[in-house]
Amino acid sequence: MHSVLSGIHLVTFDLDGTLIDSVPDLAVAVDRALDDQGLSPRGESRVHDWVGNGSRKLLERALRDALGEAPSVALHDAAHEAFLHYYAQAPNVRTRLHPGVREALDALRERGMALALVTNKPHAFIAPILDGFGLFDHFGLCLGGDSLPQGKPDPAPLLYAAAHFGVAPRESLMVGDSRHDIEAGRRAGFRTLAVPYGYNHGEPVASSCPDAMVESLAELV
């Protein structure tokens, strides 16, 4: 096992960008929502840098980019509703698991580690996506961006997970791809591990100084 796991009893994982490459399906739903409003598509490469603060923020960033100014509340609400509708129809068509994810989750589960998923994505999408990969049952707890009043980078969801499993924060590890994951982990008193292949607003996640980094989650186990 990787040394970052020594003394760890709970591992919490981020979803988008860490376990899955979800931008292909996210971008389709964003672009369909924009099209409903007569706005031109933004495409995957831009959406890539807008993921990480939940779906409302994703749509706000897309609308701002398409309009050249901040959207009205009514437009933001309408586009977000449309996005939720389109994404719910096809959350797992072109989404792929990152290499090493299945091996890592299987091995951690076999070793009796408590596993939690803490994403800023709306909770409703977690089960359909994880089920599609046969991984939903690996997690003893799944929290979405709308599960609690605060999402990452607030430490609240991580502290909730630690309390749920009765594990001390210092015996817990947050695994993520973005500065929001590393900040939430640090503020919660968790150890932090980052992967470099995900979504971090176009910046290297190493700048957030995680306790450790791995190229692939396979290195964990």
Q: Which residues here bind ligand PGA, judged by CB under 6 A?
A: 14-17, 51-55, 58, 119-121, 178
Q: How far is the CB of 120 from Mg ion (least distance, A)?
A: 7
Q: How far is the CB of 169 from ligand PGA (least distance, A)?
A: 19
CA angle 13, 63, 179 (to 5 degrees): 30
As beta bridge partners, residue 174 has 12, 192
Is position 14 annotated as part of the catalytic site?
A: yes
* Residues 123, 117 contacting (CB under 8 angstroms): no
Q: How far is the CB of 221 from ligand PGA (least distance, A)?
A: 21
The residue whose Cβ lies closest to ligand PGA is: 119
Binding at 121: pick from Mg ion, ligand PGA, none (beta carbon under 5-8 Å per type)? ligand PGA
Residues near Mg ion, by CB under 5 A: 14, 16-17, 177-178
Q: Tell me the C-alpha to C-alpha distance, in Å, between residue 70 and each of 26, 54, 57, 60, 67.
A: 21, 17, 12, 8, 7
Nearer to ligand PGA, 15 or 28 (CB): 15
* Residues 2, 220 contacting (CB under 8 angstroms): yes
Residue list for the binding site: 14, 16, 177
Nearer to Mg ion, 71 or 191 (CB): 191
Nearer to ligand PGA, 121 or 191 (CB): 121
Residues involved in catalysis = 14
